[in-house]
Structure 1
Amino acid sequence: MKLLSKTLCLCLALALTNAAPTHHEHGDAVKDGGLFLTDRCDGIEFDAIAPDEKGQAFFFKGDHLWKGFRGPAELSNETFKELDDFHHLGHVDAAFRMHNEENPHDHDHIYFLLDNKVFSYYNHTLEDGYPKEIQDDFPGVPSHLDAAVECPKGECGANSVLFFQGHNVHTFDITTKTVKTKTWSHLPNCTSAFRWLEHYYCFHGHNFTKFHPVSGVVEGVYPKDARNYFMSCAGFGHGGGYKVPKCSEVHVDAITSDDAGKTYAFIGSIYMRLDSHRDGFHAFPITRGWKEVTDGVDAVFSHTDKLYMIKGDQVYIYKSAVHYTLIEGYPKSLKEELGLEGSVDAAFACPGTDVVHVIQGKNMIDINLSTTPRTVGQGIPLPLSNITAGLCGPGGIRVFQGSDYYTYDSPLLLAASRIAPVPLKITSGMMGCQD
């Protein structure tokens, strides 16, 4: 797995700076000097939102769309020209990206629903045989839908698609082609729905509400204004005016990769998911994913199906699942859980092993996690000091020190080294910082 193979955007909301052509509700436009003008910051109610096979999100309104979280509006038929060839109402009812790994023929295709028709695109090209009647592909699902969103197995009971019509939600099982209908009267009428970073959002007006895809439960204070999260607008913004730092200012406090391949970097009070490049890379408060941990972390490592967070003299252990859950009885003291005293600067565990390598100052201490009480080894002097984070993966080990990092092939070579290798600099290609 490539650890940091894509540009990482540290912004909590990406900038949209250009005024752009747009239409308002159902294609009704505001005309100025012969041009159709709009700005997402005016508070648009989107008709549909869906990512393509590369993870680029499309926001649809009338006969226009926006590509990604920034950029000007453009005509939908410039990218999906057949939508106009077969349909002239000027807007998409619903859209979603299919998740069906068991059938590569339609996996990652983007589906559009317009009145009673369904269109299937891959690489922005309409598939042969489309458009079709909605019921040809999704028997039992009604026409004239309001919104749709994919729900992979593990987040739903099976690979599914949620179709919204008013307060009714039709859950379509892709494998069995059966439909179960629920009424979620507590949710607003969703004009579009979006799965992003394993969370589900119902968009209504210029607001959104996050919900659980199986129960429909809403946790937290909603609705929230989309302009604070899915675009950047004057007078709006999430994260207290957060700015992308210079690469020389980046300080990684912890970094880890779990058994599912989810890789996280922790910097101050925020974390970033590094592996989900198809959904983009964004920074969030640590409390969003691990609500019990506040004010940053000292070290994080993964072992089996658990994620260990160390803050001060406390250890928090979370059960890995779709979302992390604190194991009952935690946090526990560092002494009780790992047999250590003092503070921890960094920690990492290599996949398939039961040993966590803990760094305290210039010493690395190996702890066997398969024994209770823990078997704690002697401290081994390291060639480096001030290490703040470490990660072990198929490509070896990376240890971070300020805005520099060092690579080693194995923990043994790190422990045996007496001279530090040439430091490497964190770059914009790694973490989206400013060079």
Structure 2
Amino acid sequence: TPPDLAQLCADGGGFDAATFSENGTLLLFRGDQVWEVSLRGPRPHSRPIAASWPELGGPVDAALRLHRPQSPQEHQSLLLFQAWGAGWGAWGSLQGEQVWAYAGGQLRPGFPRRIEDEFPGVPGGLDAAVECHREDCGGDSVLFFKGDRVFSFDVALGVTKPREWPALGPCDAALRWLGRFYCLRGTQFRRFQPRTGDLPPGGPRDLRDYFIPCPGRGHGQGNASWGDASDRCSEMPFQALLSDDTGRVFAFRGNLSFRLDSWQDGHHPWPVGQTWPGLKGQVDAAFAWDGRTYLIQGSQVSVFLSDRGHRRVRGYPRPLLEELGVPRADAAFTCPGSAELYVITGGRIQRVDLSQTPRRAEDPLPLPHDRVDGAMCTRDGVFLFHGPSLHQYPGPGRLLAAPQPAPPQRIAERFFRCPP
């Protein structure tokens, strides 16, 4: 075992802060060192904090990757929080606790700043911090942890609200990964709900089984039954793909789902029930409309609210024929901002106006494909998926007018960044 990895895997060593870099590398801060752990690349290695961020002169108390898409100059900036200390050169006269902001590895103009100036109402002595996206918290925000208390900072309003989450307890560091939130304490972590602080079933788990590739450890050994289905680069087909109203993109294979839009965090598969509570088994088709996600399984459809996590709408699942006016679906898609649903069965496609009640399917029209496994529409066009390949069309009209299939592209290469 390499020395860096052996030290990282040693029992008892917790971390001062944790976050992901702009390129998806996990950063674990301890003392004056930072460990870089790629979930897709080389072995972990450590380096002095000053080697990457020369302006910093001591340990980091908290870290996060800022989510502010409406402000491109700030979006995805790496924020590092420190208590004031000696030896900071030109910044040594800035008293109190500070936040440093980096973009592309460079210190942003105007930083460092006092924490209370950048985040009014947030106290000093922070233990941890983590960004919270709009779909998770109802608005872009930052969660700050100090002892047993949590402070939620609304990015748009610039307002801080205290939270009491006694069930969670103190956090040495905090992480957001693939839409899930984790409180780190020592070498253990617990998942929590970012709006309430509630803890899902299951006790603490060990970082070295999930986030750090320690020899002889790892939860992946218990997922051998997934086989090639869990390998994003395998040639196994996907049964459904989905782009929802919040910009999230999911792919379904067997009873697993992958998230595609947050590629910086890796493409880790999850059982569908972990993202859509109560759902089990294979998803045959999926689409989103009006803030809701529709997941079709056989002759049934389940509907989930897309924002603030995924909550199943009461009264579902329901028969597909009653909900959409079709008995089954091999694939389905809606395009952004449109109430027109396209349902594919075999080599035919039908249009359903989702704004009408009751919903009725129009007469089927032929496709330039005999069959497809899945379909999706984004601002880049319509994608039809069959086996390991996808076929892209500028829009539904061009798809219906196409005399033959569009040239095939590899799904693994186009959506999962797999090698050619």
Choose 257-266 or 136-145, whichever is displaced more: 136-145
SS at match of 1:200: strand
Aligned to 1:50: 19
After TM superposition, the structure 1 = structure 2 runs for residues 80-91 of structure 1, keeping only pairs within 5 Å, are 80-84=53-57, 87=58, 91=59
1:264-288 Cα shifts (integer Å, max 9, x gaps): 1111111112112344432221111
Say if 1:52 and 1:97, in contact at 8 Å, map to a contact too.
yes
1:396-434 Cα shifts (integer Å, max 9, x gaps): 222111112222333334334443344333343532556
Aligned to 1:118: 98
Residue 430 and residue 166 in structure 1: after superposition, are their counterparts in 2 closer, same or farther (change >3 A)?
same
1:23-73 Cα shifts (integer Å, max 9, x gaps): xxxxxxxxxxxxxx6133756412101234455431112222122434322
Distance in 1, matches of 2:410 and 2:73, equals 42
Number of residue pairs matched by the alignment: 398
Residue 40 and residue 248 in structure 1: after superposition, are their counterparts in 2 closer, same or farther (change >3 A)?
closer
Aligned to 1:27: none
Residue 43 and residue 331 in structure 1: after superposition, are their counterparts in 2 closer, same or farther (change >3 A)?
farther
Distance in 2, matches of 1:202 and 1:163, equals 11
1:273-310 Cα shifts (integer Å, max 9, x gaps): 21123444322211111122211111111222221111
Distance in 2, matches of 1:152 and 1:395, equals 24
Task: Please state if 1:263 is matched with 2:283.
Answer: no
Say if 1:50 and 1:194, in contact at 8 Å, map to a contact too.
yes
Residue 382 and residue 213 in structure 1: after superposition, are their counterparts in 2 closer, same or farther (change >3 A)?
closer
Distance in 2, matches of 1:59 and 1:336, equals 51
Aligned to 2:258: 272
Task: Please state if 1:21 is matched with 2:1.
Answer: no
Distance in 1, matches of 2:384 and 2:75, equals 37
Distance in 2, matches of 1:178 and 1:410, equals 42
Runs of 4+ in 1 over 6 A off after TM superposition: 102-105
* C-alpha deviation, 1:192, in angstroms: 0.3
Higher relative contact order (CA 8 A, sep 6+): 1
Distance in 2, matches of 1:176 and 1:414, equals 44
Aligned to 2:91: none
Q: Which one of 364, 371, 374 corresponds to residue 389 of structure 1?
A: 374
SS at match of 2:7: coil
Say if 1:268 and 1:296, in contact at 8 Å, map to a contact too.
yes
Distance in 2, matches of 1:330 and 1:186, equals 31
After TM superposition, the structure 1 = structure 2 runs for residues 326-337 of structure 1, keeping only pairs within 5 Å, are 326-337=312-323
Distance in 1, matches of 2:386 and 2:350, equals 18
Distance in 2, matches of 1:295 and 1:199, equals 21
The letter of the residue matching 1:193 is A
Say if 1:43 and 1:227, in contact at 8 Å, map to a contact too.
no
Distance in 1, matches of 2:157 and 2:38, equals 35
After TM superposition, the structure 1 = structure 2 runs for residues 27-426 of structure 1, keeping only pairs within 5 Å, are 38-40=7-9, 42=11, 44-70=13-39, 71-84=44-57, 87=58, 91-100=59-68, 106-116=74-84, 117-122=97-102, 123-127=104-108, 130-153=111-134, 155-156=136-137, 159-174=140-155, 178-233=159-214, 234-238=216-220, 240-241=223-224, 245=231, 247=233, 249-341=235-327, 343-426=328-411
Distance in 2, matches of 1:60 and 1:272, equals 28
Distance in 2, matches of 1:157 and 1:355, equals 27
Residue 66 and residue 215 in structure 1: after superposition, are their counterparts in 2 closer, same or farther (change >3 A)?
same
Gaps of 5+ in 2: 85-96
Say if 1:69 and 1:230, in contact at 8 Å, map to a contact too.
no
1:374-413 Cα shifts (integer Å, max 9, x gaps): 2222222333223110112232222111112222333334
SS at match of 2:332: strand
Say if 2:208 and 2:217, in contact at 8 Å, map to a contact too.
no
The letter of the residue matching 2:217 is G
Residue 158 and residue 139 in structure 1: after superposition, are their counterparts in 2 closer, same or farther (change >3 A)?
same
The letter of the residue matching 1:319 is L
Distance in 1, matches of 2:402 and 2:363, equals 17
The letter of the residue matching 2:339 is D
Distance in 1, matches of 2:33 and 2:323, equals 56
TM-score (norm 1): 0.81
The letter of the residue matching 1:344 is A
The letter of the residue matching 2:332 is A
Residue 393 and residue 131 in structure 1: after superposition, are their counterparts in 2 closer, same or farther (change >3 A)?
closer
SS at match of 2:399: helix
What is the aligned-residue RMSD (CA, Å)?
A: 2.9
Say if 1:227 and 1:237, in contact at 8 Å, map to a contact too.
no
Residue 412 and residue 133 in structure 1: after superposition, are their counterparts in 2 closer, same or farther (change >3 A)?
closer
1:350-381 Cα shifts (integer Å, max 9, x gaps): 23332222121222222222222222222223
The letter of the residue matching 2:30 is K
Residue 247 and residue 191 in structure 1: after superposition, are their counterparts in 2 closer, same or farther (change >3 A)?
closer
SS at match of 2:4: coil
TM-score (norm 2): 0.84
Say if 1:247 and 1:403, in contact at 8 Å, map to a contact too.
no
Say if 1:19 and 1:39, in contact at 8 Å, map to a contact too.
no
Distance in 2, matches of 1:202 and 1:356, equals 40
Q: Percent of pairs identical after alignment?
A: 35
* C-alpha deviation, 1:323, in angstroms: 1.0
Gaps of 5+ in 1: 1-17, 23-36
Distance in 2, matches of 1:192 and 1:220, equals 21
Aligned to 1:34: none
The letter of the residue matching 1:358 is V
